[in-house]
Structure 1
Amino acid sequence: MPMITMNGAISMFSQAGTKPFFYICSDTNFPLQQPELFATAMQISENVALWEEQFDIVQTKPNGNAFGLKKAPRASMFTTLFNPQESLVRDSFLLSKRSKDIGFSKDMSLGCFDARTVMYLALQTAYHLGFNKVFLVGFDLNQAAGRFYETSESKRSPCGLDQHYGTRILPSLKLMSEHIVSDDFQVYNLSADSKVPGHIIEKISLDDARRMLNR
């Protein structure tokens, strides 16, 4: 099955000898803090997506196809309410300046929305590429648990999951659930202990996922 992986999760692929279909890294400090993992990602991934400016900075270049990420432009209140872009689905309840950054991109060439979690970029990438079923693995959003690939010897990146969960992460996922998820684009969460409620992203077991894939 085609698999999209992100940031340090590439370590699971290298250990298993599996090449990811797509690798996405939104943490600009990751190449400096985890150079070996980043180099592995650049070496074994079929496709790589980084912020556009990152490709000019990183020392290790991707062996596969390279795609530049860019943020979707902010829309005015008039544009959002009366002349919305069909491929950039936005939150129409503009109660705050921050809400203007909440949305979902169906066409990554127009830009993407950063919900403060790289998994949200992966979801937009999956939609852009035409996948109709997405299974989220390791999407527990438990900041206290830490990152499994970080060790006491390695540099640790700051984590803002708790800080941004209520203001950016959950509102973005809710928008996706209400306006994007459909019979043509279904999203399932394999993390039983995920912080994301099941009514926003349906939680299923690994056995459920296997049965769906076998069908």
Structure 2
Amino acid sequence: MNSTSETSNGSARSRRINDFADCRNIAHGAVFIIASGNSAKDFPIREFAGIPMITVNGAISMFMETGIEPFFYACTDTSFSKQQPELFAYAMRISQRVALWGNQAEELAVEPMGDLYLLKKAPKPTLTEWLLRIDKDLVRNRAVLGSRNRSIGFSKNLANGFFDARTVLYLALQIACHAGFSKVFLVGADMNQSAGRFYETDGSSISPCGLDQHFHSRILPSLKLMSEKVVGSKFAVYNLSPTSRIPSSVIPVKTLDEVKAIIQS
């Protein structure tokens, strides 16, 4: 569909907004999700240039001078474009597809070269919808107690919204599933707040990080739900970070050699 957005100075410009239904099940096979943990620095990205890649926030810096165009770029940090304007602009220029909040899209200084998709959260279910599991594409926590537990879930169809786990990595996993990939490999999924992000230096702007605050209450429960209710023969997830905070019982850790064997199979 076509959409007209207002810029921050009040002038209008036309921009095509794509529906997430347009990119559902358009892919298959393997995909790498490039995140921002320090272990990402050891990933030989050029060696896997032929495999689609999804990346998030400042991890786009891994793609510089590689000639690789991300299959999807996602950013849920509304302050990121101001804190890291060069990286954000680079992501807009090279990514095949971009997922942003509506207010981010309205304030873009650089137009995306690829397709633009607007994010929305999965709606809160009515009690009947929650009990009867009416929408099979929105996999929800079945915990009875606590509205926070009920809001944990995994979306297989982003046209219906996504579930926020307080880390953009979880959105990237839902994008991978939505697009149709069956083998997902996580790069830089360390979840180590004290180690920082690989692209941030002492002299650069440091974005806020809530990993420690949300890991046990939101992030890990969401990953466990994905592991138990989504992962299977049609959707497998592996972690390449040997220092990841994510338990291997939730997402198994693989070496590069093991990853190559899985891709070839």
Aligned with 1:16: secondary structure?
A: coil
Aligned partner letter, 1:155: S
- The answer on whether the counterparts of 1:77 and 1:94 sit within 8 Å (CA) in structure 2 is no
1:19-72 CA-to-partner distances (Å, cap 9, x unmatched) read 111111111110000000000000011111111232112222201111111100
**Aligned match of 1:38:** 88
Show the counterpart of 1:68. 118
In the alignment, is the contact (CA less than 8 A) between 1:20 and 1:46 conserved in 2? Answer: yes
Equivalent position to 1:160, from 187, 210, 215: 210
Give the superposition deviation at 1:180: 0.2
Alignment counterpart, residue 135 of structure 1, candidates 159, 166, 185: 185
Moved more, 70-79 or 30-39: 70-79
Runs of 4+ in structure 1 off by over 3 angstroms are none
Aligned amino acid, residue 165 of structure 1:
F
- Whole-Å Cα distance in 2 between the matches of residues 200 and 111 of structure 1? 24
2:77 aligned residue (27, 39, 45): 27
Tell me the secondary structure at the aligned position of residue 64 of structure 2. Answer: helix
Q: What is the RMSD computed on CA atoms of the aligned residues?
A: 1.1
1:17 aligns with 2:67: yes
Pick from 133, 148, 160 the counterpart of residue 110 of structure 1. 160
In structure 1, list runs of 5 or more residues that go unmatched: none
What's the % identity of the aligned pairs? Answer: 55
Using the size of structure 1 for normalisation, the TM-score is: 0.96
**TM-score, normalization: structure 2?**
0.79
* Structure 2 residues without counterparts, runs of 5 or longer: 1-50
Count of residues paired in the alignment: 215
Residue matched to 1:189: 239
User: Alignment partner for residue 203 of structure 1, among 237, 253, 257?
Assistant: 253
Deviation of 1:150 after TM superposition, in Å, equals 1.3
Moved more, 199-208 or 150-159: 150-159
Task: Determine which of 132, 135, 138 is the counterpart of 1:82.
Answer: 132
**1:40, 1:29 → 2: CA distance?**
16
SS at match of 2:139: strand
Deviation for aligned residue 1:212: 1.4
